[in-house]
Amino acid sequence: MEFVFGEKEEKLRAEVRSFLVSYLKGREEGGAGLGSRTEDDFEFAKGFNTELGKRGWIAPAWPKEYGGLGASIYEQMVFNEEFGYYGAPDTGTRGFGVGMIGPTIIIHGNEEQKKRYLPRITSGEDIWCQGYSEPGAGSDLASLTTRAQRDGDEYVINGQKIWTSGGHRANQMFCLVRTDPDAPKHRGISFLLIDDIKNTPGLSIRPLINMANRHHFNETFFEDVRVPARNLLGEENRGWYVGMTLLDFERSGIGGTASQKRTLEKLTQTLKDGPAWKREKYRTKLADFVVSNNVGRFLGYRIGYMQASGMVPNYEASVVKIYQSELGQRIYNFGVNMLGLAGQFVPEEPMAPLGGDMPESYITAVPSSIYSGSNEIQRNIIATRGLGLPRG
Ligand SMILES: Cc1cc2nc3c(=O)[nH]c(=O)nc-3n(C[C@H](O)[C@H](O)[C@H](O)COP(=O)(O)OP(=O)(O)OC[C@H]3O[C@@H](n4cnc5c(N)ncnc54)[C@H](O)[C@@H]3O)c2cc1C
């Protein structure tokens, strides 16, 4: 057993790394990555994605006909690792577009939908957001009540979504809606694609400010929003199963581990440059995190190996999700403490050590054990599907 990438992957890694270093020129996001803090960051992320699009690097593992490179899973992992390590910015194109809706369209979409949507993802043009959660439907997503009624060639949507990350910047939304309120709850749901959400009558997006004081997510309201019936993905009332394909894709990334590695390297450098008493106090704890980070890396590689071998990661991806998110919370907490009082300064403060990334990463790592299926739900998955324990 040899845990190394092949020559081809390492050559690619050098190419990707050299591009990232020259393009980002010190604009790497730190720690967990916060998405775009300002409009300027967002515009920078858009330009970055357009540049990736020209190289076929937005979705390298997708088939060439959809704008990918037909890259192997291992090559895709190289991209994910390097992007994670260098904090490559994103608009929602790579996260929601490539990580979630794109693969779902590839599996469930008809030819027209594939032709219409996939190239606009791989060019960086379309920015997607996810309309799943509702005020009364989070972990128990199948309780969602946002209603879509068929009216001729259209669906008419009424209801509300919440926690719509990046909804204020996206132009496209994928959405789960209830099309049959009388059917058992999992069987009355459909999956709709909503185009040009900024100019869709009746669809309004209102900001929710998170505890890092950033506008990351939103509430989305639908009042008689009309969506063409051709935007149905998969069959009517089978949307739950379409939606679940998407969640399986969301849980297999390894960029987070690479991002944590970079944070540990920065903290190590800070200790090297700092006073001896500080090194004495924090060195062994830092070493512990390096061990854990390596464990996380190999857990991530396992998912890649499974996918490359044609297996579908299931509870294994839940293991990774729990491990990465909780390790991140501990690392950033440690980082803030290690930097001392100044470690609490946010990026806007010029004297903030490490660019103020540590407290933001610490705060924004808190929800990482809630989104993408909370860690309690992931533990339920491991208990039932992984360990074979009965539900009750
Ligand atoms: C930063 C962030 C970004 C997000 N972005 C999006 C987005 O873009 N689009 C979108 O649709 N949603 C998004 N979400 C919503 C996210 O998917 C939900 O927050 C998540 O599914 C949990 O749902 P909830 O918040 O309603 O909590 P609840 O489901 O109400 O859960 C509350 C608590 O109870 C626990 N719990 C619930 N059920 C069980 C159970 N069966 N067993 C054990 N414990 C249980 C949960 O783990 C949690 O601790 C985002 C959330 C966050 C925090």
Is 250 labeled as catalytic in the residue annotation?
Answer: yes
Location of each CATH 1.20.140.10 domain in the chain: 251-386
DSSP 265-318: HHHHHHHHHS-HHHHHHHHHHHHHHHHHHHHHHHHHHHHHHHHHTT---SHHHH
Q: How far is the CA of 141 from the centre of ligand 1 (A)?
A: 9
The token duo for 231 is 């935007």
- State the pLDDT at residue 32: 34
**Which atom belonging to ligand 1 lies closest to the Cα atom of 380?**
42
| DSSP string covering 245-258 | HHHHHHT---HHHH
Q: Take atom 37 of ligand 1 and give the residue whose Cα is closest.
A: 139
- Start-end of CATH 1.10.540.10 domains in the chain: 7-91
Q: The tokens of 172 are what?
A: 């496209």
Summarize pLDDT for 9-59 with one digit per residue, the tens.
999 999 999 999 999 987 765 433 345 678 888 888 899 999 999 999 999
**28, 82, 134, 250: which one is catalytic?**
250
Residue 99 has a pLDDT of: 86
- Which amino acid residue places its CA nearest to atom 12 of ligand 1? 133
Q: Residue 9 Cα, ligand 1 centroid: separation in angstroms?
A: 36
Would you say how long the chain is, in residues? Answer: 392
Half-sphere exposure of 390 (CA within 13 A, CB side): 1
Tokens of residue 13, six digits = 């890694």
Using CB atoms within 10 A of its CB, is residue 204 exposed (0-12), middle (13-18) or buried (19+)? Answer: middle
Question: Ligand 1: residues within 6 Å at CB?
Answer: 129-133, 138-139, 163-165, 217, 367, 370-371, 374, 376-377, 380
173 DSSP assignment: E
Q: How far, in Å, from the CA of 192 to the mean position of ligand 1?
A: 21
Cα R_g (the chain), whole angstroms = 21
- Closest ligand 1 atom to residue 140 Cα is 29
Q: What is the pTM of this model?
A: 0.93
- Among the listed residues 76, 82, 89, the one whose alpha carbon sits nearest the alpha carbon of residue 17: 82
Helix/strand number for the chain, H first, E second: 11, 8
Domain 251-386, classified CATH 1.20.140.10, yes or no: yes
One-letter identity of residue 26 = G
Residue 374: phi, psi to the nearest 5?
A: -60, 160
Q: Where in the chain is the domain with CATH 2.40.110.10?
A: 129-246
pLDDT of residue 31: 37
Name the closest-CA residue to atom 41, ligand 1.
377
Query: What's 7-91's CATH class?
Result: mainly alpha
| 134 CA to centre of ligand 1 in angstroms | 10
Could you name the CATH architecture of 129-246?
Beta Barrel (2.40)
Q: pLDDT below 70 — which residues of the chain?
A: 1, 28-36, 246-253
Choose one of 215, 250, 329, 374 to mutate for the ligand 1 pocket test, by most ligand atoms within 8 angstroms of C-beta: 374
Give pLDDT, residue 253. 65
